[in-house]
Chains A and B, each alone.
Chain A
Amino acid sequence: MHDIVASASNLIHLDVMNVTYLFIVGFVGGLVSGFIGSGGAFVLTPAMMSLGVPGLVAVASNMCHKFPKALVGSIKRAKYGQVDVKMGIIFGISAEAGVLYGAHIQESIKKAFGDAGSNLYVSAAFVVILAVVGGFVLRDALRTHKRGTSDEPETLTKISKWVQSVNIPGTMVYFKSLNARISVLFTIPLGIATGMLAATIAVGGFIGVPSMIYVLGAPSLMASATELVVAFVMGLGGSFKYAMSGLVDIRLTLIILGGSLFGIQLGAMGTTYVKPFMIKLVMGVIMVIVLFSRGLMIPVYLSKLGLIATLSDVTVKVLKNTSFGIMAAALFIGAFIILKAIWQGRREEKVLHATEALETTR
């Protein structure tokens, strides 16, 4: 640990190019997080590592920028009436427990199988979860769009109807986002799963948001906004843990935060212009693209573990770079869809205002 601490205080050189690069990636990450509640930060850790920042310092500095970003985003979205604070806090505390358990699993795998084994576990978790959950979310968004029901209120799934019908005395809590009382015995395991995913792939929201929508029955807008509260609670605890070991490079944290606070404000405002299925669409698209990014890395780790033939250095380099490129593309495509949706929404509203003004003057 001492070496890592030493490497955190042993500053990487930051020139104008590095700062601009981190600022822009931070902005795009913030934009996506403000809109879907999570998922904007995962590209930042590899982005920092590509500048020569040690892995753990990159993870710690990234996490320390997430909680203040989530705080600003959740305050903004609370102004639009989209946040369920009670749900966010209960979910967040359970997620914190999930993070600790997830980190423990990671450590055990690393001890038993080394770095390649740990990386293989992370990539496999990415691929399986993103394929199942991301595929489901994207399919649902596309179906809504095809059916032309995107203007209608979101309907409850069978499972969320059942969850809302179960009464377990002593555990029932009213949640504003659901407009119903449900047992916390349902929210706690989902929170733990969110935390475990956050500890494994750094984006708990890929479980948190879909589970609030499909399992508990929250509207997409409220689920994505409430996830920001979860991210704040979870991020604050995680940041403290890393900061206690002296792993946070505050310069990196504050530079990314500089960009991401511009983005998160814009992403949060964006949610007021779009139909709810857009949240699912952006989340589903990002998840499915990232799935391919991580899938490409699996042969690299399998080869390191000796489970398949050894790959040449050139092949490993090509796979690594392509994987990072696809990951960055996922984020930029998500950001593009959000900006386009905001642009369209604003234009429609302008036309509406102009028509109303014209009718008033007649």
Chain B
Amino acid sequence: MASSQGSKKKPYGKVILFGIVVGALYTLLMTNQNVVNDYFTRGGAYAFLPIAAAFVLSFFHGNFTGNFWTLLGVEASKKKKEVR
């Protein structure tokens, strides 16, 4: 698989960029656990906080993990699959 994509550029830049953002987000979360949980568990209108956090992380981490596997040469099959 990996060899078949030899000519394809590996997404080093994206992995580094998204990796730094994801790392920063987790560091922020873990170093401010008390403040974060205080606000995020207040309920009511504060319900938007955990939902928004999940969306934000899924965007950056989703991109990071997708590119991470590509970098390792793990990609979807190149065969065109007939779904039915």
> Across the interface, which residues of A come within 8 angstroms of B49, CB to CB?
243, 250
Residues of chain B from 3 to 61 with CB closer than 8 A to chain A in the complex: 3-4, 26, 29-30, 33-34, 36-38, 40-44, 46-51, 53-55, 57-58, 61
Q: Main SS of the interface on chain B?
A: helix
Total of A-B residue pairs, C-beta within 8 Å: 142
Interface centre among B40, B49, B50, B62, by most chain A C-beta atoms within 10 angstroms, is B50
A346 within 8 A of B: yes
Kindly state the separation between the CA atoms of A171 and B33 in the bound complex, as whole angstroms.
Answer: 50
> Across the interface, which residues of B come within 8 angstroms of A266, CB to CB?
69, 74
Verify B57–A257 contact, CB threshold 8 A: yes
Kindly state the separation between the CA atoms of A14 and B26 in the bound complex, as whole angstroms.
Answer: 13
Given contacts A153-B82, A257-B61, contact A68 B77 (CB under 8 A): no
Given contacts A236-B51, A266-B69, contact A345 B77 (CB under 8 A): yes
Minimum C-beta distance from B54 to chain A (A): 4
Per-residue CB proximity of A213-243 to B under 8 Å, as 1/0? 0000001011000000000000010011001
> Across the interface, which residues of A come within 8 angstroms of B55, CB to CB?
68, 71
Verify B77–A273 contact, CB threshold 8 A: yes
Verify A248–B84 contact, CB threshold 8 A: no
Verify A244–B29 contact, CB threshold 8 A: no
Kindly state the separation between the CA atoms of A72 and B65 in the bound complex, as whole angstroms.
Answer: 10
Verify A239–B51 contact, CB threshold 8 A: yes
Given contacts A222-B83, A353-B4, contact A5 B57 (CB under 8 A): no
> Across the interface, which residues of B come within 8 angstroms of A317, CB to CB?
none
A115 within 8 A of B: no
Kindly state the separation between the CA atoms of A23 and B62 in the bound complex, as whole angstroms.
Answer: 15
Verify B69–A9 contact, CB threshold 8 A: no
Kindly state the separation between the CA atoms of A68 and B61 in the bound complex, as whole angstroms.
Answer: 10
Residues of chain A from 56 to 108 with CB closer than 8 A to chain B in the complex: 64-65, 67-69, 71-72, 75-76, 79-82
Given contacts A9-B38, A9-B41, A257-B54, contact A82 B83 (CB under 8 A): yes
Minimum C-beta distance from A148 to chain B (A): 19
Q: How large is the interface on B (under 10, 10 to 19, 20 to 34, 35 or more residues)?
A: 35 or more
Minimum C-beta distance from A10 to chain B (A): 9
Kindly state the separation between the CA atoms of A219 and B66 in the bound complex, as whole angstroms.
Answer: 25
A322 within 8 A of B: no
Residue of A222, A265, A353 near B65 (CB, 8 A) is: A265
Given contacts A179-B84, A243-B51, A262-B65, contact A250 B34 (CB under 8 A): no
Kindly state the separation between the CA atoms of A243 and B69 in the bound complex, as whole angstroms.
Answer: 32
Kindly state the separation between the CA atoms of A83 and B53 in the bound complex, as whole angstroms.
Answer: 26
> Across the interface, which residues of A come within 8 angstroms of B37, CB to CB?
8-9, 11, 249-251
Per-residue CB proximity of A311-351 to B under 8 Å, as 1/0? 00000000000000000000000000000000001100110
Kindly state the separation between the CA atoms of A319 and B19 in the bound complex, as whole angstroms.
Answer: 42
**CB-CB nearest in chain B for A219:** B84
Verify B1–A346 contact, CB threshold 8 A: yes
Kindly state the separation between the CA atoms of A345 and B81 in the bound complex, as whole angstroms.
Answer: 13
Given contacts A239-B51, A250-B36, contact A72 B58 (CB under 8 A): yes
Interface centre among A68, A71, A253, A266, by most chain B C-beta atoms within 10 angstroms, is A68
> Across the interface, which residues of B come within 8 angstroms of A9, CB to CB?
37-38, 41
> Across the interface, which residues of A come within 8 angstroms of B43, CB to CB?
5, 243-246
Shortest beta-carbon contacts, A-B, top 4? A68-B58, A246-B43, A243-B47, A72-B62
7 A-B pairs with C-beta separation under 8 A: A11-B34, A69-B58, A71-B58, A72-B65, A76-B66, A254-B54, A350-B4
Binding site for A on B (CB under 8 A): 1, 3-4, 26, 29-30, 33-34, 36-38, 40-44, 46-51, 53-55, 57-58, 61-62, 64-66, 68-69, 74-79, 81-84
Beyond known contacts A179-B84, A257-B61: 10 more, CB 8 A cutoff: A5-B43, A240-B51, A245-B43, A250-B50, A253-B54, A262-B65, A262-B69, A265-B66, A269-B74, A346-B1
